[in-house]
Amino acid sequence: MPILPPMKTQTLAALAALSAAAAAAALPAAASAQTGRQTGDETGSMSERTTAERTTLTPPDAEQRPHEFTHHGITVEDPYAWLRDASYPTVDDQDVLAYLKAENAYFEAVMAPHQGLIDTLFAELKARVKEDDASVPQKDGDYEYWWAFDEGSQYRKWYRRPAGGGKTVTILDEPALAANAEYFRLGGLEVSPDGKLLAYAVDDDGSERFTLRVKNLETGEVLDDTIENWRYGLVWAADSNSFLYTDADENWRSKVVLHHVLGTPQSADKEIYREADEEFGVGIGRSQSRDFAILSTGTNTTSEVRLLPTSDFSAEPVLISAREEDREYDVDVRGDQLFIRVNDTHPNFRIVTAPVAAPSEWTELIPGSDANYLRGLTSFENVIAVEERVEGLDQVRLIDPATGSARYVEFPEASYTAGLGNNPEYRADTLRLSYQSMVTPDTVFDYDLANGSLQTLKVAEIPSGYDPDDYATERLSITARDGTEVPVSIVYKKGFPKDGSRPLHLYAYGAYGYAVPPGFAASRLSLLDRGYAFAIAHIRGGDDLGYQWYLDGKLKKRTNTFNDFVDVGRGLVQAGYTSEGRIAASGGSAGGELMGAVVNQAPDLFGAVAAHVPFVDVLNTMLDASLPLTPGEWQEWGNPIDSQADFELLRSYSPYDQVGAHAYPPLLVTAGLNDPRVTYWEPAKWVAKLRDVKTDDNVLLLKTNMGAGHGGKSGRFDSLYEKAEEIAFFLTQNGNPADGE
């Protein structure tokens, strides 16, 4: 199951999220020379290796232990169930650890002959990274804030200076916090309203159970206040003496909003709200005006919102509208007026307003529309910004709250992805926007509300050199088997022949209404420059063409997602972009489930597949209500505990359950031992079963990060190294046109 982002807040925390997103786009996957790996011989032969090295080239053979269960009168055998450690989330079963370590040793041995290629690719990827990169400073109150990397550093430092000019101060030093840590992730940071305190949260093992601390920015002292098991979201009180937060319970679920008063122990924190429904989770954010904390409860299909004034956390939270099944809404506040985005009358949402004093009295501002998918809104003091998608293309609509007049921001290319960037202040004379396309690197604009002009503040630099004129991008439409037109974004180096002679990398996600934007990634250049095309299939299950596009890829319509991906691949073959067996495919989390399903359905279409932290043991996971995300996921996948129809549907496509005795393409599978979203045993069980059942001799690799979680390694160069490994896998298994393959 995928990473579900925390509620959007336009604060320094939003800057952290945006910088992380930018890093992910620029560095989609990293590692440094400090990985401990030595440069190897690209063509080293078996005869040159030691006996121990030859032993590691024998694939591990996981033991089968009889295990079965019966549900709805259906008996399912699961001989690899033992790979789930009974002590989880502690993993100390020696048989389990031995198997995972054996798979890691096998991965290292198989990849060792390609070490030279991996090192070359890593050098290319690293050379495209501006090592001393920095964000564009943004004013928030009395200060300007930004982050920057020191040259060679894996992690950022965070800075501020007085808005009118003055001394630059380091407010948070990630490299110092990450020193001697195998894994480090900053989960968020938030400066108090008076500018004197900084709350920040750190995860040191990938479990996403963060420890939150508070730093005095005037003295540099870290206070005794410590919040364990923090899980995304923090709102300071207006007086800066306390804050609201959510934590993770023993099942890694956020059920409670808590109020912490500085100088008191966590055990004294007061409950503000507790959610009783096991399928609902709780999140918090704040209004753009900072007058209200926004308490949101919900599932993937239903939501409920309460407001609490930041001036008085002891007040009773005000319910906006009681939950109704399959109705989602979110709220922002401008003065005494609410702006509510809701999908009650149309799946693409509408926007209504209501008085803060009478939140149930709704007046429609923007009606629902088949053409305009309303994705979000931010109510500034002087403008209402609505983020939309029209025919799959991002748009930003600006509404004058005094006159009701509206206009759209005009962007420079015909195909792109764009949206609001970091805009922390309530009054906005300019809007910070983020922008990129398949050929344009991540760009930061300021949009002048007075004259409508775009000022370019930053374009992500590619130090090793990049000329967008060397590449071409297209937007295609491919007909799926049920007649639905599926959009595809594709990029390649100019001169790419469309005669079926070249390989292609096809990527998709296809779940939770998350659209993969047609954006830029510097890492792709290593494939494009070697003769590959890169394509994004905008398949159902995402919300690329509106909310209905998402609904058409979930629950009973889930198989549309898999069929779309296969049909896009076949359509690209028919159009001459590649040929059967020359497609390298990849996806992660729910996108890893996609990979598992499509190699069961159409294995001959693919030349190599990378499935990262793949959600492949779908039936077992959805049957286990004790797992962290399961109850909240039934609205996405179905509830096989209560419904036999859901049980049979999930079993019919669950990649682990549908592994068959046929040939599979070469597979690279990754896992994280501490992953709370897709538990490590899902990919481990899948690989074990594939090894036993598949009929081919193609490479099958499982790499488990023993000290990380869902996102893989944490440092920007460590994750780049893992991307280099994936690209090397594709080039060696699916062909390298640069070498005449």
Which tens digit of pLDDT belongs to each residue from 385-404?
999 999 889 999 999 998 98
SS (H, E, C) 37-68: CCCCCCCCCHHHCCHHHHHHCCCCCCCCCCCE
* Sheet arrangement for strand 485-493: 471-479, 485-493, 533-537, 504-507, 583-588, 606-612, 667-672, 700-705
Task: Give the chain's mean pLDDT.
Answer: 90
More confident residue, 726 or 55: 726
Residue-wise pLDDT for 238-257, tens only, equals: 999 999 999 988 788 898 99
| Per-residue pLDDT, 712 | 60
Q: Give the residue from 240, 256, 284 where a domain finishes.
A: 284
What CA–CA distances, in Å, run from 26 to 193, 536, 723, 733? 32, 16, 12, 25
Structural domain boundaries enclosing 664 = 63-126+465-739
Other CB atoms within 10 A of residue 598 CB: 28
Is residue 702 very low, low, confident or very high in pLDDT (cuts 50, 70, 90)?
Answer: very high
Q: Give the residue from 284, 307, 326 where a domain finishes.
A: 284
Same domain, 70 and 218: no
Is residue 675 very low, low, confident or very high in pLDDT (cuts 50, 70, 90)?
Answer: confident
Kindly state the tokens that stand for 80: 């690899």
Same domain, 117 and 185: no
| Per-residue pLDDT, 713 | 60
Same domain, 720 and 585: yes
Is residue 735 very low, low, confident or very high in pLDDT (cuts 50, 70, 90)?
Answer: very high
In this predicted structure, the answer to whether residue 414 has a pLDDT above a threshold of 90 is no
Same domain, 101 and 153: no
Residue 206 resides in a domain: yes
Residue 216 resides in a domain: yes
Please report, for the domain that includes residue 197, its CATH number: 2.130.10.120
Residue 603: strand, helix, or coil: helix
Number of domain units in the chain = 2
What CA–CA distances, in Å, run from 468 to 129, 444, 459? 17, 17, 12
In this predicted structure, the answer to whether residue 202 has a pLDDT above a threshold of 90 is yes
The rounded percent of the chain whose pLDDT value lies above 70 is 91
In this predicted structure, the answer to whether residue 512 has a pLDDT above a threshold of 70 is yes
Residue-wise pLDDT for 304-348, tens only, equals: 999 999 999 999 999 999 999 999 999 999 999 999 999 999 999
Please report, for the domain that includes residue 657, its CATH number: 3.40.50.1820
Same domain, 102 and 237: no
Residue-wise pLDDT for 143-200, tens only, equals: 999 999 999 898 999 999 999 889 999 999 999 999 988 889 899 999 999 999 999 9
| Per-residue pLDDT, 718 | 83
Residue 53 resides in a domain: no
In this predicted structure, the answer to whether residue 652 has a pLDDT above a threshold of 60 is yes
Is residue 265 very low, low, confident or very high in pLDDT (cuts 50, 70, 90)?
Answer: very high
Residue-wise pLDDT for 428-459, tens only, equals: 999 999 999 999 999 999 999 999 999 999 99
- Asked if 222 and 210 count as a contact pair (C-beta separation under 8 A), the reply is no
pTM reported for the whole predicted model: 0.87
Residue 368 resides in a domain: no
Residue 341 resides in a domain: no
* Mean pLDDT lowest among 28-42, 546-560, 621-635, 688-702: 28-42
- Asked if 502 and 530 count as a contact pair (C-beta separation under 8 A), the reply is no
Burial 609-646 (b: 16+ CB within 10 A, else e): bbbbbbbbbbbbbbbeeebbbbbbbbbbbbbbbeeeeb
Same domain, 120 and 182: no
Same domain, 580 and 638: yes
Same domain, 532 and 635: yes
Kindly state the tokens that stand for 324: 């109704």
Q: Give the residue from 236, 258, 284 where a domain finishes.
A: 284
Residue 639: strand, helix, or coil: coil
The set of catalytic residues is 589, 675, 710
What distance in Å separates the CA atoms of residue 41 and residue 670, rounded to the nearest whole number? 24
CB under 8 A, 24+ apart: contacts of 338-343 = 339/365, 339/377, 339/379, 339/384, 341/374, 341/376, 341/377, 343/368, 343/547
| Per-residue pLDDT, 15 | 35
The rounded percent of the chain whose pLDDT value lies above 90 is 82
| Per-residue pLDDT, 2 | 30
Is residue 279 very low, low, confident or very high in pLDDT (cuts 50, 70, 90)?
Answer: confident
Residue 563 resides in a domain: yes
Cβ neighbours of residue 298 under 8 Å, at least 6 residues apart? 280, 281, 283, 304, 323, 328
